[in-house]
Structure 1
């Protein structure tokens, strides 16, 4: 019986080594197969029954397959944007069609799993790998990027259309120069707002471009309303912009002079004359009749200095009569009349002081019209010459129509700017050409934005060339809008982006490293379309292998669990985990073992023949 048992054991050895050879052969054959997981061979001995351990003999052998699904294959780069690989744990959820209906694949709802990520878009817009498995995932809201549901479905991207999105936000960052250089500034009178690169509001007449509703300089021919401030002459009379200089209690007479920040004002005679600018001196001097009014004097000062928008720039100067009496120049230039305190206020003009005798303060009016907040067509050249470019951007209205928005900055006072957008490039006459966004931008001496302080403003009713965009938020991060010195005197725009776009048709898809399918549309937008889902198993190596590097769940593997610790790499492929050198080593061992088993059979045969010869 022992000889025949040996024959049986040798045969089991031959069968087992043949099984191992088959696995080695399959591994070597699939060395270049994407996502392939090799199969090892495990041997299990078969021991015959024996009541006494001393009589126990070696038994046969049984070969078993051993999966290596959990062993990672090498990940390499791919030139195909829809090729993906998994680094670590997990499987792609896939389905294979059971047939087609009207050229459309049909599915039975059974989900399989694979690591073969060589997916490409077919004619119907499905992502299919080389083995014919269709990729699954969850659709994504193109506006929010959030998944639409939690149950994976077969993905299809076919003629996707994205509707237009109106611009609602512009992100902006820029540095405004401390001293802007405009076309008008080189030839403007020294010390004027124009010479300093600013916008002279007096150059725009009744169409003042400053923020609508706000007071505007210059204050010309100022009047006083309320309780009148009185000249202490005899009889006392209210001092207004029409008060004659020669009628003051200490009259201005011919030959008197006064100096305002270096500008000489000469009083020529007792006869009223139109203020005359004498350009032969630097700075220019002014000739004025002593019979002129307080308002005429203010006009003359404005004429000489051009400093009609920022009187505070001459705060250090004094108005000086030849008698040596002085009055603060800021007071004169800003209002011409100054009343301090709510009662018993002091009224100053030309060095003469009177009180309101305990009455409430008078209110200066009549100076400069309120801002209209726009520039008309006839003032465009002046506006362009007294402002600097703020950049340009294309935005979109609700219908997806592109709208080109041109921006310009105008300095209305040192450290104070207004922002404008071009409403109509073809505006003429009284038509609106540029619109003020309605906000004073104020900077401190350190160049930091003081107001507005909320990190952004709203541009109301943005309309360009008849195309209405609507309310648009102009946002600027902390420190994004500054006023620092610039050698060129121009605005440096660091960022200008917006969130609108026109309607578009899907052109191509790609999968990024976050496992998100991104669509490129004809409008230039890259929009998230879907999110690839991964699954994992508690008993991964007990999955049932299917054709095409796919697997099915088994009782031993457990059901699929949504989510996995592995990460997706875009434009990549995971190769086979087969090691050729290792397989060749196994091949040699298997060959030797097979030959040894055949030797056992040969030996057992010789022994049987010897036994038969004894009987003969």
Structure 2
């Protein structure tokens, strides 16, 4: 039976090498397919049960060996919504069943892929080149917290980002110990101070705590400008996103050289073109004091409320000027003017979505036309204890199996790289090498069949 067994064994070898060639063919065909994972071939010997001194090498069986966890090269695409996983893990995706737009129905099953060439379709869904829809979790734009616990198909629409009224002006500046106002004269004591109430018959601009009215009227405007120094300006927004410019001006009202305390008043312009009894500037109505080291001692906490007023038809209220306690100092300055290092506010107008990108943590980041950058969603990533045991599907997708274990949701130690796509992990040179070896092995098996046939013919010749 040895010759007949040799024929059977050679046939199993032909089948095994044919199977290997089929895998090699598929790998080469998909060498340019994004996210493709090549399939290698492993061989196993099949030994018949026999006595120890009669054992033979036996025939062969071939099996597929997955490379799902072997990463391919990352290629930059310059498309913001494209994303690659650098490390372990798979994107969680779903398939469309029916419907369009907001009424699109999905299969509600989690599939997994490394193909990250996602881009927006007409309805705001992120779809890759194989037609799979990206899943993740929405992020609350106000709190920044992830909404829900289960991944869902992400849909990002170009809705308007609402306006936010300014509530805070962050102010970092140094105020000169001796302000060089127009009327300041180093030979005349207290000439750098606000000369109220003598120069202000219209309205005493000092704080109400000092007996003043807290306003500068149009008839007194020229005197006020000569006795104060500019403190910078900033654009603020109301609740509808309407912008208006807030101009700040500082006036020193007391000093230590006269036995008092270094004290300043902050004024906000309401109408710089005011005349007569019309209000031009309003006092913040807070005494801002400094110690001998130039550090602010009052108000406590360093917050100065901006008075409610209407500037150019826009009403502003509820705004605090914050200094952080040490952001506002009074030190010597040769120029005698305010050095405003930073003036920033927290309001903005309404905006629309301009572009979307992906962060290293897998957050979908939206950049709006009003300059706001907000996290919109968190991309779901799944990892498996046995990723090579996932079942392959069309389009570079996989589904969970008993052998792969359940999905472990989370990026782990991996990272997302936006604007990149993972390419096929097929190495053309390696596949050609394997193809040559497979061809030689296949030819050798055919030689075995030819030899066995000749041996059988010799046996039949004996009978004749």
Structure-1-length-normalised TM-score: 0.70
- The SS at the match of 1:602 is helix
Q: 1:385 to 1:543 in 2, by over 3 A?
A: same
Q: What is the CA deviation profile of residues 141-160 of structure 1, one whole-angstrom value per residue up to 9, with x for unaligned ones?
A: 11221112222111112231
* Equivalent residue for 2:230, pick from 389, 403, 407: 389
Q: Does 2:381 match 1:540?
A: no
Is residue 191 from structure 1 mapped to residue 188 from structure 2 by the alignment?
A: yes
Is 1:400 the counterpart of 2:241? The answer is yes
Helix, strand or coil at the partner of 2:272: coil
Residues 53/500 of structure 1: CA separation in 2 closer, same or farther (3 Å cut): same
The answer (yes or no) to whether the contact 1:425–1:465 under 8 Å persists in 2 is no
SS at match of 2:462: helix
Quick check: 1:82 aligned with 2:74?
A: no
Greater Cα radius of gyration, structure 1 or 2: 1
Match of 1:49 in 2: 49
Alignment partner, residue 160 of structure 2: 161
Match of residue 172 from structure 2: 173
State the 1:579 CA deviation. Answer: 2.6
Q: Distance in 2 between matches of 1:73 and 1:102?
A: 34
Aligned equivalent of 1:367: none
Tell me what 1:586 maps to: 434
Q: Give yes or no for contact 2:101–2:123 (8 Å, CA) kept in 1.
A: no
Q: Does 1:480 align with 2:321?
A: no
SS at match of 2:5: helix
Unaligned runs of 5+ in 2: 256-261
Residue deviations 1:110-144, cap 9 Å, x none? 12111111111111111111111111111111122
Q: Secondary structure at the match of 2:80?
A: coil
CA RMSD of aligned residues (A): 2.1
The DSSP-based 3-state class of the residue aligned with 2:104 is strand
TM-score (norm 2): 0.92
Gaps of 5+ in 1: 215-369
- Alignment length (residue pairs): 456
Corresponding residue for residue 422 of structure 1? 269
Where does 1:206-605 land on structure 2 (aligned, <5 Å)?
207-214=203-210, 370-414=211-255, 415-461=262-308, 463-565=310-412, 566-605=414-453
* Secondary structure at 2:330 match in 1: strand
State the match for 2:463 in structure 1: 615
Q: Distance in 1 between matches of 2:283 and 2:228?
A: 12
Q: CA deviation at 1:478?
A: 4.8
SS of residue in 2 equivalent to 1:37: coil
Stretch deviating more after TM superposition (575-584 or 62-71): 575-584
Shift of 1:466: 4.2
Number of the residue aligned with 2:258: none
1:151 aligns with 2:150: yes
1:69 is aligned to 68
Structure-2 change in CA distance of 1:595 and 1:488 (3 Å): farther
Tell me the alpha carbon deviations over residues 10-43 of structure 1, each in whole angstroms, 9 at most, x when there is no partner: 1111111121122222222322322222211111
Q: Deviations over 1:153-183 (max 9, x none)?
A: 1111223122221111222211222332233
In the aligned structure 2, how far is the partner of 1:476 from the partner of 1:38?
60
